[in-house]
Structure 1
C-alpha cells in the first residue's frame, strides 16, 4: 500500500489563518475573502473551489453566527470567528455552530471580548491534532494492510478500506462534538 504520510505533507493540513496574518485594522468583506483564500489555498481540492464567498459570509451574519458589524467592516474578532465557523461548517449544522458561538457573541456585543488568547489556544490545539492525526493515519494504514493481507484481498481494496475507516473515525469525532454541544445546550436551558 502507498504511504499516505506524504499525502499529509503534500495536502498541507496545517493551513489556517494565523493571528499575525490578521491585519490590525477592520476589513471589508472582499479583504476578508482574500485573507481566507490566501490562508487556506493549500486546502482546496481543486482550483475552482472557493474557500469563502460573500454569500457565505452574509448567511453567517444573517444566521447570527457572529455579532453585528460596525460600518460594514470586520474586526479581528470577526475574522477569528469566521475562521472557527469555516472549520466547523463541514461537520456541524449552522444551528449547531450558532449554539457553540452564542456565548462568545454575547460577550462581544457587551464589548467584553478579546478573542486573541482563545484563538491562540485553538491554533495550538490544532497543531497537536495534526500530529495525532498523522500518527493515527499511519496506524490505520498499517491495520488496513494487515487486514487485507489476512483476507487475501486485492491491493486495490486497501485504499477503499482505509477511506471507510477514516470516514468512520471522522463520524466518531462528529458524534462526540454533537454530544458536547447537546450537553452545552441543556446546561444553557437549565
Structure 2
C-alpha cells in the first residue's frame, strides 16, 4: 500500500480553504416551491458532497423535517428565506447530531425569531454565526497540521509500507477523537438548554 502522505495534508488544507457558506444575499427574497428549494441547496452546497451522486436535500427529507417540527410548515407550499436558513443549519447538523438534538437546538430559535421583524431575526443570527467562519478555518488548518505532524512522527520502527498506513490511521484517530470530544460537548450543551414547559 503506497500512500502519498505529503499530498494528503496539502489536499486537506486546500479543501479547508474552499469551505464557504451560503450567504443570505444569495438566497432569493421570494418564497420558493419545493423543487426550487432542492435545486437551490444542491447548487450552493455541491462542494460539500463526498461523492457526485450524493443528495444534499430531497423532498422526502424536507417533508420529514416539517413533520418532525424541525422546520415550520411551508405557507401554501412555499418556503421562505427563513426556511432556507433553517435547512442550512439542519444540513450541517445532521451529520453529527440526532434529529432530537437538532430539534432541541432549533426549536427555541424558530419560536423566538422565525418570521419576526426587528434587529434580531433569523437572518441577523445566521449572519453573525457564519461571520466567524474564516477565523475558525484558519485555526482548524493549524490544528489539522499539528495533528498530522504528530501522527507523522510515530511508528518509526515499522516497515515503510506499514509505517505509512499506521501514520495515516493515527492521523484519522486523532481527528476522530477531536470530533468525538466536541460532539460530547455539543450534546451536553443541548441537554442543558431550557426545556419547553
TM over 0.5: yes
Verify: 1:55 aligned to 2:64, yes or no.
Answer: no
* Structure 1 residues without counterparts, runs of 5 or longer: none
Q: 1:157 and 1:78 mapped to 2: Cα distance? A: 45
In the alignment, what sits opposite 1:138? Answer: 145
* Structure 2 residues without counterparts, runs of 5 or longer: none
Q: 1:172 and 1:157 mapped to 2: Cα distance? A: 22
In the alignment, what sits opposite 2:73? Answer: 68
In the alignment, what sits opposite 2:86? Answer: 81
Residues 8 and 30 (structure 1), Cα distance of their counterparts in 2 relative to 1, 3 Å cut: farther
In the alignment, what sits opposite 1:156? Answer: 165
In the alignment, what sits opposite 1:166? Answer: 175
Q: CA deviation at 1:156?
A: 2.1
So what's the TM-score if we normalise by structure 2? Answer: 0.86
In the alignment, what sits opposite 1:116? Answer: 123
| RMSD value, Cα | 2.0
Q: 2:88 and 2:31 mapped to 1: Cα distance? A: 15
Deviations 1:159-185 (A, max 9, x none): 11111111111111101100100111x
- Give the secondary structure class of the aligned counterpart of 1:57: helix
So what's the TM-score if we normalise by structure 1? Answer: 0.89
Q: 2:47 and 2:115 mapped to 1: Cα distance? A: 36
